[in-house]
């Protein structure tokens, strides 16, 4: 049963004269738009890096494209604690326990900073991770140049998630947006400085991202210490680590990390398999992935609003209202991703040439192949919106185990083997016991379409089923 409902703390609610309730979409949008712009800036950051790398060479694009998701695998796996902060802070805020909400921000930060030695250790393991995939020598060398700094500083990205998660959870979404603006501008300036002015090349792109994220962490931590936050949340009083709360964040965050990791590791193998086919396929795939991030990164922001609304509704004692607000967020995500995906695919012939030098001998081939891949990517945008929206709403309720298990099953029993089957011609693959159809990157992206359609359908079924209403965190 639901706890006693505190109507004054229910988010995004409008009461009709007869006392019935309906979702206030204006309030949902007020909460969601800074989150949408915030994660949209992450897409711009990715596009900025891709543009700068395209000015270096197609091989540079292929190298970073080959390992982009593999880097994120470790960041997300270790950094689930950062995402858990939003759920815990939202539920504490909905229950009126503001100091406890702020305590989760600090404890999420302490837990994240403790992972720094692990990230540094992983930075030295790059050659071991890449060796089995047989990348072209020039691509492998550039990939390792990017791997070390990006992995060594990976904990800084997780730290941003942890502190920003608190602000998002309590509905103060504009501050993380402002910090992300700082990160995006800093990243662009540092890319120019480190890639070209200092001559660090591909490694400079990674160091620029790490340095920009470090500035973001400092800005968010400083915001927690302001007089306003002390007055509203007693944020300075709860600064010290609390082992019980760190453990609670880890217990919730580890399945969140596994959920993201299963997906990202599948896409890491997806990109590495495409890179094995050839640099043009890898470069085209990387550009399309970054262009379509304009769809899925802002949609993550919309979905994050679902985490906050569901968490606050549960904290206020009304799980039925949590379902109504969460479903409203899912609808907004579907409308956004579906429409923009079609627009990007249609604009491909004009957009894709921006990411490669016209003088590059592979430029024409890359643009033509990328245009085909964009249309395949457009086909799964609605399903990805269902996946993101439902999964993040489930996260707000603390339902993190089912999404992690379902995603792992579909990633490893459908996505990865199907990608291998459709990508490689006979004799070219990593294994010989699967049929091989030799469709190259077009086959890989077709496998992604099938996988995301199944995943989005499964997550929506879980959300509509309502079993998450029985979970207590």
pLDDT digits (tens, 9 = 90+) for 375-389: 999 999 999 999 999
Of 1-10, 18-27, 356-365, the poorest mean pLDDT is in: 1-10
Structure tokens at 263: 């997906």
The answer to whether residue 441 sits within a structural domain is yes
Residue 2 counted as domain residue? no
What average pLDDT does the segment 23-47 reach? 86
Provide the pLDDT confidence category of residue 219 given band limits of 50, 70 and 90. Answer: very high
pLDDT at 64: 86
- Average of per-residue pLDDT values in the chain: 90
Q: How far apart, in Å, are the Cα atoms of 403 and each of 81, 95, 297, 398? A: 16, 26, 19, 11
The answer to which of 123-137, 144-158, 361-375 has the lowest mean pLDDT is: 123-137
Q: Do 203 and 67 form a contact (C-beta atoms < 8 A)?
A: no
Asked if pLDDT for residue 67 goes beyond 80, the answer is: yes
| Residue 21 phi, psi (nearest 5) | -115, 150
pLDDT at 49: 84
Average pLDDT over residues 293-315: 90
Residue 402 lies in a domain: yes
pTM to 2 decimal places: 0.73
pLDDT tens digit sequence for 336-374: 999 999 999 999 999 999 888 888 888 899 999 999 999
Q: How confident is the model at residue 271 (pLDDT cuts 50, 70, 90)?
A: confident
Structure confidence at residue 324 (pLDDT): 95
Triad 406, 409, 411: Cα angle to 5°: 105
Helix ranges (H only) for 79-200 are 80-94, 98-113, 116-123, 126-130, 137-152, 154-169, 174-191
Asked whether residue 386 is assigned to any structural domain, the reply reads yes
Model confidence at 457, in pLDDT bands (50, 70, 90)?
very high
Name the DSSP letter for residue 194.
Answer: I
User: How far is 392 from 312, CA to CA, in rounded Å?
Assistant: 13
Report yes or no: 109 and 162 within 8 Å, Cβ to Cβ: yes
Q: Residue 456: inside a domain, yes or no?
A: yes
Q: Give pLDDT, residue 1.
A: 42
* CA proximity to 82, closest of 58, 103, 108, 63: 108
What pLDDT, on the 0 to 100 scale, is given for residue 4? Answer: 63
| Host domain of residue 390 | 7-470
Higher pLDDT, 236 or 275: 236
| Number of domains observed in the structure of the chain | 1
**pLDDT at residue 222 greater than cutoff 80:** yes
Distance set, CA 372 to CA 227, 301, 367, 415, 437 (Å): 53, 28, 9, 20, 18
Alpha-carbon distance values, 309 to 38, 261, 330 (Å): 17, 25, 12
Q: State the Cα–Cα distance between residues 454 and 298, nearest whole angstrom.
A: 22
Q: State how far the Cα of 27 lies from the Cα of 370, in Å rounded to an integer.
A: 39
Among the residue ranges 128-132, 216-220, 256-260, 405-409, the one predicted with the least confidence is: 256-260
Determine contact, residues 204/194, Cβ cutoff 8 Å.
yes
Report how far residue 391's alpha carbon sits from residue 60's, in angstroms, rounded to the nearest whole number.
Answer: 34
Confidence at 261, pLDDT banded by 50, 70, 90? confident
Q: Is residue 1 part of a domain?
A: no
**pLDDT at res. 5:** 67
Inform me whether the pLDDT recorded for 245 exceeds 60. yes
Residue 3 pLDDT > 60: no
pLDDT at residue 2 greater than cutoff 60: no
**Token pair 């210490």: residue:** 225
Q: How would DSSP label each residue in 195-235?
A: IIIS--HHHHHHHHHHHHHHHHHHHHHHHHTSHHHHHHH-T
Q: Taking residues 69-81, what's their average pLDDT?
A: 83
Report if residue 328 sits inside a domain: yes
What is the average per-residue pLDDT within 235-258? 89
C-alpha span between 105 and 102 (Å, rounded): 5
The residue ranking higher by pLDDT, 48 or 280, is 280
Average pLDDT over residues 132-156: 90
Would 243 be classed as within a structural domain? yes
Flag whether pLDDT at 8 surpasses 80. Answer: no
Does the pLDDT at position 175 exceed 90? yes
């Amino acid at each position: 049963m639901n706890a006693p409902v505190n109507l004054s703390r229910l988010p995004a609610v409008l009461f009709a004269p007869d006392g019935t309730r309906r979702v206030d979409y204006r309030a949902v949008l007020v909460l969601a738009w800074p989150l949408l712009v915030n994660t949209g800036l992450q897409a711009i950051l990715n596009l900025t890096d891709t543009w700068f790398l395209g000015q270096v060479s197609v091989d540079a694009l292929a190298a970073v494209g080959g390992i982009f998701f593999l880097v994120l695998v470790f960041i997300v796996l270790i950094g689930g604690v950062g995402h858990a902060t939003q759920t815990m802070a939202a539920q504490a805020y909905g229950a009126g326990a503001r100091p406890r909400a702020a305590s989760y921000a600090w404890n999420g930060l302490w837990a994240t900073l403790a992972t720094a030695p692990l990230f540094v250790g992983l930075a030295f393991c790059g050659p071991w991770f890449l060796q089995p995939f047989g990348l072209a020598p020039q691509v492998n060398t550039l990939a390792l140049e990017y791997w070390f700094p990006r992995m060594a500083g990976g904990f800084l990205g997780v730290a941003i998630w942890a502190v920003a998660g608190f602000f998002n959870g309590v509905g103060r979404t504009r501050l993380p947006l402002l910090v992300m603006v700082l990160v995006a501008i800093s990243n662009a300036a540092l890319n120019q400085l480190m890639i070209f002015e200092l001559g660090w090349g591909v490694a400079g792109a990674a160091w620029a991202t790490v340095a920009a994220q470090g500035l973001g962490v400092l800005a968010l931590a400083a915001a927690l210490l302001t007089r306003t936050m002390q007055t509203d949340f007693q944020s300075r009083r709860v600064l010290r680590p609390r082992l019980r709360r760190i453990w609670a964040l880890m217990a919730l965050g580890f399945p969140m990390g596994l959920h993201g990791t299963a997906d990202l590791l599948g896409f890491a193998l997806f990109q590495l398999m495409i890179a094995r086919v050839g640099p043009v396929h890898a470069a085209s795939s990387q550009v399309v992935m970054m262009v379509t991030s304009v769809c899925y990164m802002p949609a993550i922001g919309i979905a994050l609003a679902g985490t906050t609304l569901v968490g606050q509704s549960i904290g206020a004692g009304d799980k039925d209202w949590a379902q109504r607000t969460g479903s409203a967020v899912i609808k907004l995500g579907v409308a956004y991703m579906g429409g923009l995906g079609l627009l990007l695919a249609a604009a491909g012939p004009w957009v894709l040439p921006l990411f490669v030098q016209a003088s590059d001998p592979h430029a024409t081939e890359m643009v033509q192949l990328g245009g085909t891949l964009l249309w395949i990517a457009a086909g799964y945008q609605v399903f990805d919106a269902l996946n993101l929206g439902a999964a993040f709403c489930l996260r707000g309720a603390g339902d993190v185990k089912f999404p992690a298990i379902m995603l792992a099953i579909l990633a490893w029993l459908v996505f990865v083997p199907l990608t291998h089957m459709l990508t490689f011609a006979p004799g070219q693959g990593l294994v010989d016991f699967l049929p091989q159809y030799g469709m190259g990157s077009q086959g890989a992206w077709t496998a992604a379409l099938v996988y995301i359609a199944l995943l989005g359908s499964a997550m929506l079924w879980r959300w509509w089923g309502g079993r998450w209403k029985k979970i207590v965190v």
